[in-house]
Amino acid sequence: MRGWDDHARAVERLVESYRAVPAGERVRLAKRTSNLFRPRASAGSGLDVTGLDSVIAVDVDAATADVQGMCTYEDLVDAVLPLGLIPQVVPQLRTITLGGAVTGLGIESTSLRNGLPHESVLEMDVLTGAGDVVTATPDNEHAELFDAFPNSYGSLGYATRLRIALERVPAFVELRHARCGAEEAVAAIEQVARSGTFEGRPVDAIDGTAFTPDDVVLTVATFTDEPGPTSDYTGSAVYYRSVGERTHDRLTMHDYLWRWDTDWFWCSAAFGAQHPLVRRVWPRRWRRSDVYHRLVGLDARVGLSRALDRVRRVPGRERVIQDVEVPLERLPAFLRWFDAEVGMRPVWVCPLRTRRVWPSYPLEPGRTYVNIGFWGTVEVPAGAEPGSVNRRIEEHVSALGGHKSLYSEAFYDAETFAALYGTDVLDRVRERYDPDGRLSTLYEKAVGNS
């Protein structure tokens, strides 16, 4: 943890680095790592974020934490879990930063109860495009910035500090894996959303794995202090396989929070990390999402996958890495369309409800949506239009009344994008906080990859 004095010095370094950028030049963060899956232009001067990657203070009585914007959820959990606390929503991957989840879009199995990560933010300090650091809350003079900041992806500035509400938790998590079809999954999620219970037991978290549209496993979690044996999925066993093989399970709270990170959901199979012989020699400290992400980057540079595709005579390949939200009742229709038209299996299913309107991601408050996550590549015909599969997904999600996250590639035209992501509000806020256009717009970032 860093104290307030260290934090103040880090913010001053950040502001000084902003002032050193020549007038008229675009600015960006000088980040060494990222959980984005879209290409980014290298133009622009990087801002110094040294010393902005930790927890500042925790108020155990109030169940709040002051956290720097570049602090990862892994470090945040390490600081607060020993105190019996966790963030209200902990995104699945360890190296997602708090600032990234708030200015981007995070989600997890507590999102049906607690909404999205930005909904537990009480106040935040933001370095604006004008080079000022302002404190925004839901009801102060910077409330418009507070409201527009979620899903703005750095187009309105960068959070240097966030005060968030935490949740008190026990030591263990009981899991029930309920196998059903897509329509049955909708009914079960509706029951949990309405009553907070499943089969007579309280539900603290819920997500699911759709192996096919007719083979969905809902994982219902109940937080508990009741002692007992727990499973370990950081060794030879793989978590996602267990949900289809077991009806009940128990994990420590720590292992539950990072159950998906060890094998990057199921994507570690692409590197051979789930093969028993490979897994035996693959160090545990390297079984984590950021390692796999770096391997993807290495492959993109050296072209091993492209060479293998040439040997296998694969005509073309498109990366399809997306998270989308559709209204709960549309889940069966989307799963069947996606399985028939794209054919990636399995996919992740996570219900959510937002608590209020957020201009840049206008889901209807109180309405239950389902996040569907799918990550991988698909074969496409030679000469296929770039992004052809992703474009079809975008069109279908919009037709179902849904939205998609912008951490990966997007292909919307400007008019459609503006309607979906409230850029009229963003433009108005930018006029006040970035009058000289030092930051890229959301459309430039998400579609133009600037």
Asked if the model's pLDDT at residue 45 lies above 70, the reply is: no
Strand order from edge to edge, sheet including 347-352: 248-252, 172-180, 215-224, 205-212, 347-352, 369-379, 317-327, 403-404
Fold for 4-169+427-446, please state it: 3.30.465
Torsions phi, psi for 210 (to 5 deg): -95, 100
Rounded Cα distance between 40 and 442, Å, is: 13
- In what helix (H) or strand (E) does residue 197 lie, and over which residues does it extend? strand 197-198
194-205: pLDDT as tens digits: 999 999 999 999
Compute CA distances 352 → 261, 275, 427, 442, whole Å.
20, 34, 28, 24
Pairing between strand 347-352 and 369-379? antiparallel
Task: Check pLDDT > 70 for residue 44.
Answer: no
Is this model's pTM higher than 0.85 or not?
A: yes
- Which residue has 């996606």 as its token pair? 338
pLDDT per residue over 101-111, tens digit each?
A: 999 989 999 99
- The owner of tokens 């794995």 is 209
pLDDT at 31: 67
Q: 124-168: per-residue pLDDT in tens? A: 999 999 999 999 999 999 999 999 999 999 999 999 999 999 999
Preceding peptide of 213 cis, ω within 30° = no
Give the model's confidence band at 86: pLDDT under 50 very low, under 70 low, under 90 confident, else very high: very high
Q: How confident is the model at residue 40 (pLDDT cuts 50, 70, 90)?
A: low
Q: How far apart are CA 443 and CA 239, in angstroms?
A: 37
Q: Is the pLDDT of residue 43 over 60?
A: no
Stretch 112-132: mean pLDDT: 97
Q: What tokens does 221 get?
A: 């979690």
pLDDT tens across 375-428, in order?
999 999 998 999 999 999 999 999 999 999 999 999 999 999 999 999 999 999
Per-residue pLDDT tens over the stretch 286-333: 999 999 999 999 988 998 899 988 999 999 999 999 999 999 999 999
CB-based contact 301:364 (threshold 8 Å): no
Average pLDDT across the chain, whole number: 95
Q: How many residues in the chain? A: 450
**pLDDT given for residue 28 in this prediction:** 84
Q: Are 135 and 145 in contact (CB under 8 A)?
A: no
Collect contacts of 29-32 with beta carbons under 8 A, ≥24 apart.
29/154, 29/158, 31/70
Q: CA-to-CA distance for 381 and 53, rounded, in angstroms? A: 44
CA 446 to chain centre: 15
Q: Coil, strand or helix: which one is 99?
A: helix
pLDDT at 24: 84
Helix (H) or strand (E) holding 423: helix 423-433
**CATH 3.30.465.10 residue ranges in the chain?**
4-169+427-446
